Amino acid sequence: MIESFTRLRKQPQKRPTRSMDKLLHSTLRFPKFHKRALVATIGIVATSFTLASCVTNVEDGTPEGWEQIVPAPVPEIQALVPEALAQRGVLTAGANPPFPPFEFKDSDGQIIGVEMDLVRAMAGVMGLDFTPQEQDFSLILPSVQAGTIDVGASGFTDNEERRANFDFIDFLYAGVQWVQATDRDTPVDPDNACGLTVAVQRTTVAETDDVRPRSEECVAAGKEPITILSYETADTAATALILGRADALAADSPVSAWAAERSEGRIEVVGDIYLAAPFGFAFPLESDLTPAAAAAFQHLIDTGDYQRILTQWGIEEGLLDEALINEKPLS
């Protein structure tokens, strides 16, 4: 575990259900990444700057230098796979794009992203093919529970509430991180944000556990509250920041880093990562598949494929050094 995230793990935080299901497809430039339709934002963006100067379409969607990593089957791990799944030969995962870099669609409509690469690699170790299935976010966990898909892979936070019905193979620790305009005269300080305007995606941890409590603290201290611009999607929240309607954007740390890296220098992350919690792949409670998948994940860590996959997607913090089920080591 990276040291900064080890420290954060000692301060467990309850995170609400992930709803950051659309991300940064409007005013940010994504060289080498797929762009969805801009109809909803063209009118807004055109009033501030030329759309063509900040948006480009791309042909495949994967990062520059990306390579698909599918390890060879490991016989002793293959032997752990439930017989019915081994005979079927295909591991299915429910996902709800877009939520880059975790999952989104390329220009051919294929679901790609770091979670898809990780589950595909796990499947390879188990001697299985991999097929992602697009679903409404609210239907993924019920589908896992019903057995119509094998695993949920869509930015799920592993928390105590969900562990009552599911087991999670954790793959990353992430927290909240703020983003500001690069040319801002006075740096944004999340700990001194009273009176600022902050864009968030509605009902995400950044709103419910971070920005709103901070605003309440401001009021209690007799200071100006934080003006919270709450949007249905994170792309519109990022648009508000780029257009100068907000002083900052608050989002999950990989989301913030992804946005800043692809903004052509318009925005940048600021401050530390906090409210860290594990993201995990959801499996049916006490499923025979979970130990096999966890062993496959440990194999990816041991061979370095796990780190290579995350690095390809620009994720270099919060990585695990051993496989965890519900935040507990395998042995």
Residue with the two structure tokens 């419910």: 208
Whether residues 102 and 229 fall in one domain: no
Q: Are 210 and 176 in contact (CB under 8 A)?
A: yes
Which range is least confidently modeled, 15-24, 33-42, 112-121? 33-42
Number of domains in the chain: 2
Round to whole Å and give the CA distance between 209 and 275: 8
- The residues with which 251 forms a beta bridge, in sequence order, are 177
Whether residues 268 and 203 fall in one domain: yes
Strands 151-157 and 90-95: parallel
Range of the domain at 140: 75-174+276-329
Q: What per-residue confidence (pLDDT) applies to 202?
A: 83
Domain at 235, CATH number: 3.40.190.10
Whether residues 119 and 260 fall in one domain: no
Is residue 15 one of the residues assigned to a domain? no
| pLDDT tens per residue across span 141-192 | 999 999 999 999 998 889 999 999 999 999 999 999 999 999 999 999 999 9
Is residue 88 one of the residues assigned to a domain? yes
Residue 183 vs residue 14, higher pLDDT: 183
Whether residues 110 and 162 fall in one domain: yes
| pLDDT tens per residue across span 115-139 | 999 999 999 999 999 999 999 988 9
Q: How confident is the model at residue 237 (pLDDT cuts 50, 70, 90)?
A: confident
Residue 153: name the closest of 182, 121, 198 by CA: 121
Is residue 161 one of the residues assigned to a domain? yes
| Domain stops at, among 235, 260, 275 | 275
The b/e string for 36-58 (b: 16+ C-beta within 10 A; e otherwise) is bebeebeeebeeeeeeeebbeee
Residue with the two structure tokens 């049916």: 284
Is residue 51 one of the residues assigned to a domain? no
**Distances 233 to 4, 26, 28, 33, 40 between C-alpha atoms, Å:** 29, 11, 14, 18, 12
Neighbours of 221 (CB within 10 A): 9
Q: What per-residue confidence (pLDDT) applies to 203?
A: 78
Instruction: Output the average pLDDT for the chain.
Output: 83
Is residue 142 one of the residues assigned to a domain? yes
The two three-digit tokens of residue 152, written as one number: 């949920």
Q: Are 35 and 177 in contact (CB under 8 A)?
A: no
Residue with the two structure tokens 């299901």: 21
Q: What per-residue confidence (pLDDT) applies to 41?
A: 32
Is residue 319 one of the residues assigned to a domain? yes
Whether residues 184 and 270 fall in one domain: yes
Round to whole Å and give the CA distance between 261 and 255: 10
Task: Return the biggest CA–CA distance within the chain.
Answer: 65
| Domain stops at, among 234, 260, 275 | 275
Whether residues 92 and 223 fall in one domain: no
Whether residues 216 and 270 fall in one domain: yes
Round to whole Å and give the CA distance between 166 and 285: 4
The two three-digit tokens of residue 32, written as one number: 């080498």
Is residue 214 one of the residues assigned to a domain? yes
Is residue 297 one of the residues assigned to a domain? yes
Total-model pTM: 0.75
Whether residues 128 and 197 fall in one domain: no
- Three-state SS for the chain is CCHHHHHHHCCCCCCCCCCCCCCCCCCCCCCCCCCCCCHHHHHHHHCCCCHHHCCCCCCCCCCCCCCCCCCCCCHHHHCCCCHHHHHHCEEEEEECCCECCCEEECCCCCEECHHHHHHHHHHHHCCCEEEEEECCHHHHHHHHHHCCCCEEEEEEECCHHHHCCEEEEEEEEEEEEEEEECCCCCCCCHHHCCCCEEEEECCCHHHHHHHHHHHHHHHHCCCCCCEEEEECCHHHHHHHHHCCCCCEEEEEHHHHHHHHHCCCCCEEEEEEEEEEEEEEEEEECCCCHHHHHHHHHHHHHHHCHHHHHHHHCCCCCCCCCCCEECCEECC
Q: What per-residue confidence (pLDDT) applies to 55?
A: 30
Whether residues 81 and 227 fall in one domain: no
Round to whole Å and give the CA distance between 128 and 78: 9
Whether residues 319 and 232 fall in one domain: no
| Domain stops at, among 239, 254, 275 | 275
The b/e string for 153-167 (b: 16+ C-beta within 10 A; e otherwise) is bbbbbbbeebbeebb
The two three-digit tokens of residue 196, written as one number: 């600022």
Whether residues 143 and 82 fall in one domain: yes
Flag whether pLDDT at 311 surpasses 50.
yes
Whether residues 183 and 260 fall in one domain: yes
